[in-house]
Amino acid sequence: MFSEISLNILDIVQNSVSARASLIEITVNISNAEDSLTAVIKDNGCGMTESELTKVVDPFYTTGNNKSVGLGLPFFKMAAKLSGGRFEINSEKGKGTEVKAVFVLSSIDRMPLGDMTETIMSVIIANRNTDIVYSYTVDEKGFVFDTRQIRQIFGDIPCDTLEVNEFIQSFLNENTAEINSGANY
């Protein structure tokens, strides 16, 4: 099992990339009032049939051609449930997939969120042609990062160049620190 929620998210995003998604939306919503940390990964990839969807949380089933087992979704589900939370996955063939894990924020069994900036940076660097929308909210304060807007700002300079990477990393770190207000999730 991964040691941080951000690493689980990275694994699920790689599933979206493998499913040929051109747009991946990653949402992290923390609510102290509801005692929850919700992570949603939504894509417009190839999606799954009803049959595939019922098997996808089985650790001995995978839709990947080069893998013998697919542990990412089963581990993500298990991590959410161990914290007292819940897990949902919805998919439609030809339309995409949405994975949602809700963690009980105060649970001693909830793994830490981890470094979402590094997760988002890894996704951007490794997947030049995939648009990423990342929303981060803590108690109604939040921000949205969208690679489509970055492309408008920087024009022909790709998102995976050093200068653009530094801009993105700074944007994500500064906004996350401001939203977290000193809390560590």
pLDDT tens profile 21-75: 999 999 999 999 999 999 999 999 999 998 888 888 766 655 555 544 456 898 9
Q: What is the pTM of this model?
A: 0.91
Read off φ and ψ for residue 165, nearest 5 degrees.
-55, -45
**Could you give the maximum distance between any two Cα atoms of the chain, in Å?**
47
60 CB-near residues (< 8 Å, 6+ apart): 69
* Digit-coded pLDDT (tens) for 88-109: 999 999 999 999 999 999 999 9
Beta bridge partners of 71: none
pLDDT band at 161 (very low <50, low <70, confident <90, very high): confident
